[in-house]
Amino acid sequence: MVQNQSDDSDDSTYHSSSTTTEDDDSSTNNPFKESDHVYKWCSHLGLRYQHHGIVIEVPNRNKMIIVDFYLDNYPQERQQSSGGGSCASLRSSCSVDVGNSCDIRRSIAGPGKIRYLEVIGQDEINEWKKVHYGYESNNNDDDTISTTTESSDPRYRVVSRVKLLLSDPSVLPDYDVLKSNCECVAVWCKTGKW
């Protein structure tokens, strides 16, 4: 069994906002906890990639809330006229058919945004995987397990970084598919390193 090796013992003032319902039992609990770095496999324009975020709340086994960084490349006026737009939403960015409103150039770089992403239901939750920190080796060919040799900072510090980004997203650089993406932001929240 692989475990996240975050050490939260040095924080005497940390209080989790996550709660569980009384009918939860250990075999059916949501496998994620606040401050977990998570990812899911997606496809955009036929290319497979991972989308990353940080769990900030797990109210029960059938719901979790993730904060993520994404490319805001859908023109505001089109979003308003079409009722939301497909490029900015995770659901369409994680499907092969993105419509004709996106092109490759706008899929690589541009203004980025931080958002809350509500994941509801076991099927949706099961699409997300945890990145495990603090392992001796990250050599691994398994798509379902992601590890890193980097150590995670304590949970309270990870959550504080997420709250900083939510309160002042201007501290983030523009989105860039290679240098400033959702994984970069999630790793920074977990480790303080870009």
30-44 b/e (C-beta count within 10 Å ≥ 16 → b): bebbbbbbbbbebeb
If the chain, 194 residues long, is cut into consecutive pieces of 10 residues, what is the mean pLDDT of each piece? 36 35 48 96 88 96 94 52 37 40 52 90 95 79 77 97 94 89 96 94
pLDDT for the residue numbered 70: 87
0.85 exceeded by pTM:
no
pLDDT for the residue numbered 86: 32
Q: What are phi and psi of 190, to 5 degrees?
A: -80, -35
pLDDT for the residue numbered 165: 95
Asked whether 169 and 185 are in contact (CB, 8 A), the reply is no
pLDDT for the residue numbered 137: 67
pLDDT for the residue numbered 107: 54
Which residue, among 175, 5, 49, has the nearest Cα to 184 in the 3D structure? 175
The secondary structure of 31-93 as a DSSP string is S--TT-EEEEEEEETTEEEEEEEEEEEEEETTEEEEEEEEE--S-HHHHHHHTS-STTSHHHH
Distance CA 29, CA 34 (A): 13
3-class state of residue 120 by DSSP: strand
pLDDT for the residue numbered 66: 97
pLDDT for the residue numbered 147: 86
Q: What are the structure tokens assigned to 184, written together?
A: 């970069």
